[in-house]
Amino acid sequence: MSADVALDVLAGACLLGGSFLAFAAGMGLLRFPDLLTRTHAATKPQVLGLLLMLLGLGLRLRSGPVIWMLVLVALFQMLTSPVAAHMVSRAGYRTGRVRRDVLVVDQLTTDLEAAREAERARGERDDAPDGGPRDPAGEG
């Protein structure tokens, strides 16, 4: 068996694995019950599936410029997908779309309460005549 045949078989396996993971992500979006589990299904298997598809495509094409473009696509996907999922989940939590009864640990409520307390304390300090903020130019 030559190296070209071995690389083609490996590329086919990566393409099949990636397409299965993308299909599983789509099924998770349709079948999971709440926002957080759907967000999880939309990001984790979808990103890994895309990376496997890109790897399979790179192994099949074996062209330098194409491989660099595929690497850039993979890096962009790995940077943006988790951030987008985090922001969607956080917005859903703040608007009440998340079922809080299924959460094991709810750190965001603790963080939001601490931020409100800090803001309230800062507001009280700013109202005080001697504890107010200083001028940024340093004049008083």
pLDDT tens sequence across 19-42: 999 999 999 999 998 999 999 988
Instruction: Say how far apart CA 95 and CA 14 lie, in whole Å.
Output: 39
Q: Do 53 and 15 form a contact (C-beta atoms < 8 A)?
A: yes
Model-level pTM greater than 0.95?
no
Q: What pLDDT score was predicted for residue 48?
A: 95
Instruction: Say how far apart CA 1 and CA 17 lie, in whole Å.
Output: 23
Q: Which of 10-19, 41-50, 128-137 has the lowest mean pLDDT?
A: 128-137
**Mean pLDDT, rounded, for 34-62:** 93
Q: Which of 7-16, 83-92, 131-140 has the lowest mean pLDDT?
A: 131-140
